[in-house]
Amino acid sequence: MEKKQRVLIVEDEKNIVDILRFNLRKEGYDTQEAYDGEVGLALALQEAPDLILLDLMLPKMNGFEVCKRLRDQGRSTPVIIITAREAEKDKILGLDLGADDYITKPFNPIEVIARVKSQLRRYTSLGGKSG
Ligand code: CA
């Protein structure tokens, strides 16, 4: 049996975590959740998920910092930023810090799943995970 791919959800709004977890599990992914940036970064480093869904406005450490530190550690795990912030400069900064894609709230779960699949496919075809 093929091992399930695991998605780490880093988001402090519980209802959004619930929506994402429900939809990802329905699609056959395993999920892990973190409700602040520090725990999110720790899990990203320790558990080496296949993909990270990352909110920007988080307690303790914001999503930009999580993404930056992850990349500073040499991790190339795909990161999709999910945020209410629509400012163009936030989007550019996020991509500059090594995020792979960007979704703004309110989102359609179908779109999130499509982007998760797209990133995982792209990443796998590039030669799999490091770190
Ligand atoms: Ca938030």
Tens digit of pLDDT at every position of the chain (131 positions): 578 999 999 999 999 999 999 999 999 999 999 999 999 999 999 999 999 999 999 999 999 999 999 999 999 999 999 987 677 777 778 888 899 999 988 899 999 999 999 999 988 777 655 44
What CA–CA distances, in Å, run from 70 to 52, 79, 97, 104?
Answer: 11, 10, 10, 21
Compute, in angstroms, the gap from residue 35 CA to the centroid of ligand 1. Answer: 9
pLDDT of residue 127: 64
Q: What is the pTM of this model?
A: 0.91
Compute, in angstroms, the gap from residue 22 CA to the centroid of ligand 1. Answer: 18
Neighbours of ion ligand 1 (CB under 5 A): 12, 55, 57
Compute, in angstroms, the gap from residue 55 CA to the centroid of ligand 1. Answer: 6
Mean pLDDT of the chain: 91
Compute, in angstroms, the gap from residue 127 CA to the centroid of ligand 1. Answer: 32
Compute, in angstroms, the gap from residue 104 CA to the centroid of ligand 1. Answer: 12
Report whether 129 contacts 50 (CB < 8 A): yes
What CA–CA distances, in Å, run from 85 to 77, 81, 105?
Answer: 23, 10, 8
